[in-house]
Amino acid sequence: MKQLAAPVFAFATVVVVGSCAVAPATSPVSIDCDETAGRTEEVALDDLTALVHLPPCYDANDGAYPTIYLLHGAGMTPSSWVDPAIGADVVAEQLMVNGEIAPVVLVLAPRSAAPDGFVERVMEPLVEAIERDYRVLDAPSSRAVGGFSAGGPATALSAFSGPARFGAVGFFATTWSDRIGETLAESMAERSDRPAVRIDVGDRDRLQGNVERIERDLDPLGLVPEVTVVPGSHDFEFVADRVDDWLIWFDDQRA
């Protein structure tokens, strides 16, 4: 397991009212100042709270950034992603500073107890708030979404229901259900976009059987996911060991 430095927290609640300037069309391709750490802020969504991790040099330039939305599993919160046990913010900063991925804004979404209503209650207002209050690119090709464990169904609904929102979708050791598959088939019938999809799971994960189920439900949609099975179980160590690879894959999908 990689050794992660503890993340630095600098929380500031962002009230999702008001406005900001329209995001420029250009996006920074590398870290262009001496900073090596970004900062994490809170975004209030009614009775829920999301976290946004801004990259190093965010305040030092006027470029607009791509976004990666991460959905946590049961028993977790958005802050679990930036807890030292996972340290997704620190990993992202290291990749950005080393030039392995372009600077990106991480959006750590709250997860409803059930996926029903998640898109309307959480994802739609969250995307709207992020694109209003931060300098981010607003095209689906510049957004990615990934979910771990019980965050998988909400990830699927966010990506494959309603209008096109995300150009890349990750299912990381996720739960699944036949009803989700049926919903996707109906939702995608009117859409022409086909996001890139990746499925990751540990070889000792109790949810490994869901890989075949997800592939089965994506096949009628013309979606062929990239499947990666690696040593690991269903725990924080699996996530911590894989998060750098996920971030690099998301970055590659925009190239």
Determine contact, residues 214/186, Cβ cutoff 8 Å.
Answer: no
Q: In this structure, is residue 142 part of a structural domain?
A: yes
Residue 5 lies in a domain: no
Its domain, for residue 101, covers 13-17+25-253
In tens, the pLDDT along 104-143 reads 999 999 976 677 889 999 999 999 999 999 999 999 999 9
Q: What is the pLDDT of residues 185-223, one digit of tens each?
A: 899 988 999 999 999 999 999 999 999 999 999 999 999
Residue 20 pLDDT greater than 70, yes or no: no
Query: Mean pLDDT over residues 149-168, rounded?
Result: 94
User: 103 in a domain, yes or no?
Assistant: yes
* Residue 116 belongs to some domain of the structure: yes
CA distance 118 to 45: 12
pLDDT band at 2 (very low <50, low <70, confident <90, very high): very low
Residue 8 belongs to a domain: no
Q: 241 in helix, strand or coil?
A: helix
Residue 114's pLDDT is 72
**Does residue 143 sit within a domain?**
yes
pLDDT at 27 over 90: no
Q: What is the model's pLDDT at position 33? A: 84
Contact between 14 and 43 (Cβ < 8 Å)? yes
Each residue's pLDDT tens digit, 58-98: 999 888 999 999 999 988 999 999 999 999 999 999 999 99
| Of the listed ranges 12-26, 110-124, 135-149, 163-177, the one predicted with least confidence | 12-26
Is residue 199 within 8 Å of 211, Cβ to Cβ? Answer: yes
Q: Which helix (H) or strand (E) holds 53?
A: strand 48-54
Q: Considering its fold, how many domains does the chain have in total?
A: 1
Which pLDDT score, from 0 to 100, does residue 32 have? 80
Percentage of the chain exceeding pLDDT 90: 73
> Does the residue 6 lie in any domain?
no
**pLDDT-derived band of residue 26, with 50, 70 and 90 as boundaries?**
low
- pLDDT given at position 12: 36
CATH code for the domain of 116 = 3.40.50.1820
In a domain, 236, yes or no: yes
Whether 19 has a pLDDT exceeding 50, the answer reads no
Nearest by Cα to 172 from 96, 123, 226, 221: 226
Q: Which alpha helices (H) appear in 72-206, and where do they start and end?
A: 88-97, 118, 124-133, 152-160, 178-188
pLDDT of amino acid 173: 96
